Amino acid sequence: MTWKTIASVGQIEEDEPLGVRVEGREIAVFKLGDFLYATDNVCSHQYALLSDGFVDGEYIECPLHQGRFHIPSGKAMGGVVTEAIRTYPCRVEGDQVVIDLPDKDQA
């Protein structure tokens, strides 16, 4: 795994997910209170960008079929979604947000 810079801290707003593309992967970054989280940005049910969805507390609702995921764990929380989304370790280094991205052969 390799730590990759994905955004600056100032780009991420509370309850406003940020979608980024890193090494061909779609990643969503969330700010919930004092914590940052990174998950896959594509719904596990059908292709839709979760960063276009609605944040409700610790949950993101997919904009396509309203399936919900728990942001910190990636767990599918019902509706049409049954498969979790991947989460990534996330931290702040200076004013940059970095995630621990698995090597392509481990994805």
Question: The sheet that has 87-88: what strands, in order across it?
Answer: 18-22, 25-32, 35-40, 87-88
Give CATH for domain 2-101: 2.102.10.10
Tokens 């767990």 correspond to what residue? 75
pLDDT digit of tens for each residue in the chain (107 aa)? Answer: 689 999 999 999 998 999 999 999 999 999 999 999 999 999 998 899 999 999 999 999 999 888 999 999 999 998 889 999 999 999 999 999 999 998 765 55
Phi first, then psi: give them for residue 11, nearest 5 degrees. Answer: -80, -15
- Tell me the domain boundaries of the chain: 2-101
Stated pTM of the model: 0.91
